Amino acid sequence: MSAVSETLRGLKKAELQTIHQFWLPGESVQYRADELRKRVTAALVRGAGVEERVARLSNSQRRLITAVLAKPKPRAALPELQETLAQSGASRVEVESTLRQLVERGFISRQKKRDGRRSEILEIPQELADHLARVMVVDGDSVSAADVISQKRLPFEIDFEEKTLDARIEQLDSAVLQKLCFWALQKRGILDLSADDYVEFMADAGAGEDNFDCWRRALEDAGIGTIGSISLHDFGITIPDPSLIIFQEWIQLRSRLRIQGATTPDKLLEAGVDLFIDLETLALHAEHHPVRLTRSGNFPKRLAEQLRQAMALERLADHLDGDTVTRVLRVALRLGIIENFAGELQANRERLKAWRSLDFSRKVEVLLQKFLDESAGNRWS
């Protein structure tokens, strides 16, 4: 029995549903307890979207997990942990509140000492601890959505000038992994390893899911990419699970090399996934809290300021024409995922559902085509 299975064995259905909602957002929780336990166990063992889950944690929650991971085994006595966290200014009440939230989300289990003493032991299941130890710290900074597919996840800096990406791939020991990497380059750096063609290719070569951990280590050691359960559902972005990821710094570098001198733009702004994150943020708000426009038809200033603070595109505000919230709203209206109905902004649930069902590449194609359709002219290239 795995450590995760042991941790989940005594949990009630309601507790399993809470963990399921956090680790598998968007999926139904209307299952029997044994089925919920099975699905949650699988998610924690494989670390389903662990980077994104960590990105949603507060600083105090990350500190508590890090303190447990710092032990020789991922377990610590509660008094010892309270003393450690007190050094960073956390009170016992804050530690208890943080711990309760982490237990509810399946990160940590609480166990009484076997000798009957009152002190509790906090433990992270070993399988989950391995995933957390891999992503908890990214160059000393908190994990962000972009770090999921970035070389920032590594404990070392890649020297992009020392050796080309093609040379790194060709030096991999596995010919199967080499082939998969080159296919990933043709797919903008993200290869769906669950697709039938690639599953069949791996099966014919005598490889499969059992090789993924070994391949992930080989890719990361070579500074090429990674393999894992990558999830950005909370940001409205769908990435196949599991995927082979070529670090996006390599994809960016290759794209820049293809730009000819004659077509070099005056200025190059790279928003990455920022626009898609902001579209989802605005759509979620309109979905649950329709926005009543002012009498003059403008977006409420106070609400705009609140949303602006959560907008990823704010970092490019100096280069954008107009307010960030207004820019994102215009795109949402053009896509039809938000509609102006009698002076109230509402989510079009059918179109929003269809938009969310698109994978990332298709979303890019849709937006690019709308941009081309609406921005024809000599000033655009």
Residue 94 belongs to domain spanning: 3-135
Angle value at C-alpha 246, between 274 and 269, nearest 5 degrees: 35
Say if pTM beats, i.e. exceeds, 0.75: no
Query: Amino acid identity, residue 138?
Result: V
From CA 138, how far away is CA 123, in angstroms rounded?
23
Residue 141 lies in a domain: no
From CA 31, how far away is CA 39, in angstroms rounded?
10
From CA 80, how far away is CA 222, in angstroms rounded?
39
Q: Do the Cβ atoms of 78 and 121 come closer than 8 Å?
A: yes
Residue 312 lies in a domain: yes
From CA 134, how far away is CA 317, in angstroms rounded?
33
Residue 266 lies in a domain: no
Q: End of a domain among 114, 135, 156? A: 135
Whether 195 and 126 map to the same domain: the answer is: no
- Farthest CA pair distance, the chain: 79
Give the sign of the dihedral formed by CA 325, CA 328, CA 334, CA 335. negative
Q: End of a domain among 135, 155, 188? A: 135
Whether 171 and 215 map to the same domain: the answer is: yes
Q: End of a domain among 197, 230, 258? A: 258
Whether 185 and 98 map to the same domain: the answer is: no
Query: Amino acid identity, residue 319?
Result: H
Whether 98 and 219 map to the same domain: the answer is: no
Residue 269 lies in a domain: no
Residue 127 lies in a domain: yes
pLDDT tens across the length of the chain (381 residues): 688 888 888 888 889 888 888 888 777 777 888 888 898 898 888 887 787 788 777 778 888 888 888 877 888 888 887 877 777 777 778 788 888 888 899 999 888 755 555 568 888 988 888 888 777 753 444 445 455 566 655 555 677 777 788 999 999 999 999 999 999 998 888 888 888 899 999 999 999 888 888 898 898 888 888 886 555 554 555 666 678 888 888 888 887 777 655 566 676 666 667 888 889 889 999 988 999 988 878 888 888 888 888 888 888 777 777 788 888 898 899 888 999 888 889 998 888 988 888 887 888 888 888 777 766 555 444
Whether 130 and 14 map to the same domain: the answer is: yes
From CA 99, how far away is CA 303, in angstroms rounded?
33
Whether 100 and 189 map to the same domain: the answer is: no
Whether 10 and 122 map to the same domain: the answer is: yes
Based on the structure, what is the number of domains in the chain?
3
Q: Which two tokens stand for residue 87?
A: 């050094």
Whether 131 and 21 map to the same domain: the answer is: yes
Residue 171 lies in a domain: yes
Whether 97 and 150 map to the same domain: the answer is: no
Residue 369 lies in a domain: yes
Whether 98 and 42 map to the same domain: the answer is: yes
Whether 48 and 71 map to the same domain: the answer is: yes
Whether 221 and 152 map to the same domain: the answer is: yes
From CA 299, how far away is CA 9, in angstroms rounded?
50
Q: Which residues contact 313 (CB under 8 A, 6 or more apart)?
A: 271, 274, 275, 278, 320, 324, 327, 328
Residue 265 lies in a domain: no
Sheet of 75-77, strands arranged across: 75-77, 120-123, 109-112
Output the CA–CA distances (angstroms, integers) from residue 305 to 149, 302, 310, 314, 377, in the order listed: 30, 5, 9, 11, 34
CATH number, domain of 51, equals 1.10.10.10
